[in-house]
Homo-oligomer: A and B are copies of this chain.
Amino acid sequence: MNINEQRILHSWATNAKPWTRVVRDQLIESRALVTDKAIVEAVVELEPRTFLDIGCGEGWLCRELFCRGFDGWGVDGITELIESARCLGDIRFVVSSYSDLPLQKFGSINQFDCFICNFSLLGECALGEIAQAGKSLLADKGKIIIQTLHPLIACDDSAYSDGWRETSWQGIGLESFDPTPWYFRTIESWIREFHLKNYRLLKLIEPCHPKSKKPVSILFIFERLS
């Protein structure tokens, strides 16, 4: 694991408690107005019998989907976040690195109809680890739903090309955060990498902010090929 991948895990362990408060208090406008709804709608439209929410954080999306009758599990690499998730009562949350996913037990579920990665593929290796996990943990024609910052919006003044970036974490509400690096990918790169790993793009969605009318995020829905 390179130094940036280590820094991501370290930062998120540090940020777990303020992050949990920020998410539960709905303090991030783009999530409250656009992206929470976008990921829920994308999952609901697929009608998966079972889902695995990878990088589930404090678990809001799992709870939202449990309420709507979908069975599934949340998994996160950060112990403190999974503790936050389990605190609210449901036991379907487990700590795991993305590379160790195939080794985990998820109750009676052996294969999932879909993986969900909601703003949770942050490092360079995550994409490959998820694609690999899908070979054993996704059902035939299983889907991977990814939501991430829209690359052209997130690119800012930098070159539009793959590479590590530093976040400029703003404080949110009264909370402050440990800055964490993340790996920027172009739209071309997201699609190319999954296609090379024997998935195909089913759908691409660009949710727009109701005021600016510009996309704030992008969703990719990939299907595992046999």
**Residues of A near any B CB (own CB < 8 A):** 150, 152-153, 155, 158-161, 186-188, 191-192, 195, 200-206, 208, 213-215
Contacts and interface: CB of A to CB of B under 8 A. Distances in A.
State the number of copies, please: 2
18 contacts: A152-B153, A152-B215, A158-B213, A159-B208, A159-B213, A160-B208, A160-B213, A161-B208, A187-B187, A187-B206, A188-B205, A188-B206, A191-B201, A191-B203, A191-B204, A192-B203, A192-B204, A195-B203
A80 to B, nearest CB: 36
Nearest to A205: B188
Nearest to A159: B213
A195 B200 CA distance: 12
A160 B158 CA distance: 22
A161 B153 CA distance: 15
A214 B160 CA distance: 5
